[in-house]
Amino acid sequence: MKINDRIFVQKTDITQLSVEAIVNAANNSLLGGGGVDGAIHRAAGIELLEECRGLNGCETGEAKLTRGYNLKAKWVIHTVGPIWQGGCEQEAETLARCYESCIEIAVQNSISTIAFPAISCGVYGYPADKAVAIAVSVIARKLEVSPGIKQLCFCVFSDEMFRLYSQTLEDLAAGSRL
């Protein structure tokens, strides 16, 4: 589902996308884990782990860049989303900062195509509807001032997440407030 030529959602394996950068929903160590993080590390190969060891981790809400190694993507932007704690621990602001940090890295490195997973929606327990609204609103705002990013994909693995992103993107395209 596309709202314009720059933003769309796709149900697929993020490690198989032919984009310049994929975003990794990482943990603070950056040394791999479960879910998207584990899949990216497995697909990229041991060189990714070796490079990540030299980064000394990553703070929640921030992002760091590595090469993609055996991935189709040249780059991996690692970001650490917040663990859901009921919404009273600045989770929304921290999740927004994840997306902002990733876009800033993409702009700084002239990355024009990028794919995002649903950050914090897996084992970190962030409510999907709230996370998707934050993701889409932050990305839409950042793309307005980032013309170098030509295409951005929200990459999902389930029908429910595809439906949530599609509806939120349709609302954005229709001019609804997120």
Over the stretch 104-138, which tens digit does the pLDDT of each residue have? 999 999 999 999 999 999 999 999 999 999 999 99
CA proximity to 117, closest of 76, 147, 69, 168: 76
CA distance 111 to 6: 13
Please, which residues bridge with residue 63 across strands? Answer: 79
Q: Which domains does the chain have, with CATH numbers?
A: 7-173 (3.40.220.10)
pLDDT tens figures, 82-98:
999 999 999 999 999 99
Is residue 29 a contact partner of residue 57, using CB atoms and an 8 Å limit? yes
